[in-house]
Amino acid sequence: MSIQKSSRSAQFGDGGNAPAALYERSCAGLYGISTERFAEILDEILRKNFPHNASVSPERTADFHAQLHLEELALARACAAGNERAWQDFISRYRQKLHRMALHITRNGTHAEELADSLFADLYGVGVRDGVRVSKLVSYTGRGSLEGWLRTVMAQEFINRYRKQKRTVSLEEQTEEGAQFTAPIPAPESVPDRRLETVTDEALAELSSEDRFTLAAYFLDGRTLAEIARILGLHESSVSRRLDRLATALRKRILAGLRSLGMSHAQATEALETDVRDLQLNLRAHLTQDSSAKAFPERRISDQNDRDGSNG
């Protein structure tokens, strides 16, 4: 089988052999996806990411395809199409991971099982639209790892359930449920873009040492609001408002930075949904990049110990 050259396949690859090479790398043939169908899938993804370009150069197209997780893309699309062999491979690779992800999010065995099973049903496609089974996996485009995409989708499903059960909760309660500071409506996949790393680096560098410490203590070290408040000599509510302010300000700063580097608003918003584990960033190094950030909490801890000793 070979892909027939056309105006569509001209965007699909860099020369006559590129489409066949991409198809072979994807192992799509194992799941009954033809070369023509795979070309259509890649063309669809290309047009989605370059919506305002009438054509994309062969070099840019080849670079774009080189960044895709082709094998995972083929597996996801085959599962969405109902291929049994693909589903068996998906179950073997990801079912246990889905349950571990759910347990990490919910911190409750029963709730984790319910969440994982519910998502698995959505991935399989129990819903029907116009006589066709609808699977969430059709939204995966290969621009991030499939595992990272699954984490994002599961986190959003948990948030949706949480919001239905309880509309207004405190910051500490959200933390206990594992939903703190998750993006409101994340796109269903992670997009490791080097521009995102650059802009995030710049945004973090602009923070004060105290703000960097607050973020590092909460998100990296897992300290509670009460612990951070004690270290900083603040009330828990003040720390809560500071974290909320920092998360909002960072999101706006990064969005603006991505727009300045040529992304559309939609592309910048999608990039912000990247799972941090798919980025080539050492966040701890960025959040504790100067000596004052480290010395600050130690000084406050010492002050607090002195106060505790005087009260003992």
Tens-place pLDDT, residues 226-259: 888 887 778 988 888 898 888 888 888 888 888 8
Residue 7 lies in a domain: no
Domain count, the chain: 3
100-104, 111-115, 222-226, 256-260: the lowest-pLDDT one:
222-226
Check whether residue 100 and residue 201 sit in a common domain.
no
Instruction: Work out the angle at residue 124's Cα, subtended by the Cα atoms of residues 43 and 165, and round it to the nearest 5 degrees.
Output: 110
Cα 108 to the center of its chain, rounded Å = 23
Residue 82 lies in a domain: no
Model pLDDT for residues 274-300, shown as the tens digit of each residue: 554 445 555 555 565 543 333 333 334
Check whether residue 21 and residue 118 sit in a common domain.
no
Cα distances (Å, whole numbers) of residue 174 to 73, 222, 286: 33, 14, 26
Residues 25-32: contacts with CB within 8 Å, 24+ apart? Answer: 25/70, 25/71, 26/70, 26/71, 26/73, 26/74, 27/71, 27/74, 28/74, 28/77, 28/78, 30/74, 30/85, 31/74, 31/75, 31/78, 31/83, 31/85, 31/86, 32/78, 32/81, 32/83, 32/85
Residue 184 lies in a domain: no
Check whether residue 166 and residue 233 sit in a common domain.
no
Model pLDDT for residues 178-224, shown as the tens digit of each residue: 444 444 444 344 445 678 878 887 888 787 767 887 887 787 777 88
The range of the structural domain enclosing residue 33 comes to 12-76
pTM exceeding 0.75:
no
Residue 201 lies in a domain: yes
Q: Are 105 and 111 in contact (CB under 8 A)?
A: no
